[in-house]
Amino acid sequence: MTDVVQTPCPRCASINRVPRARLSDNARCGRCQAALFDGEVINADSALFERHVGRGDLPVLVDFWAPWCGPCRSMAPAFEAAARTLAPDLRLLKVNTESEQALAGRYAIRSIPTLILFEHGKESARISGALDHTRLTHWVREHTALNRR
């Protein structure tokens, strides 16, 4: 584990280097001065998805969803609460499968909501179906190094 983490800014997507020990210290983007870890879910298009999954050092949990999906809408508050609970150790992104069909196809999204956990740019775990906050955070901790902290 390195002492410095590369993380894209949730607002401008520029890559920032933050000492791991200072992730919880209200780190700000060097370019736009936005908070790097505000506990908010990031609505990602394919470019922002690639930036966070491919260039960031933090694990990324992606919710593949659609606006017409009832279970997706019912899970949204739990996903937002998980973002507040798990930040700054994990990024949470939402990808709308209606507007990002190529990305959904690339990851073979067959049912929604589907959650995929990425570490070091690679898929490390996947689960389909709506989860409440407790089950969601437990599943993330079970499949990442967060359970060892």
Kindly list the catalytic residues. 69, 72
Cα 13 to Cα 34, 49, 59, 68, 105: the distances in Å are 10, 10, 16, 28, 24
Neighbours of 99 (CB within 10 A): 13
Q: In sequence order, which ranges of the chain are alpha helices (DSSP H)?
A: 46-50, 70-86, 101-106, 133-143
Residue type, 21: A
Residue among 44, 34, 45 nearest 11 (CA): 34
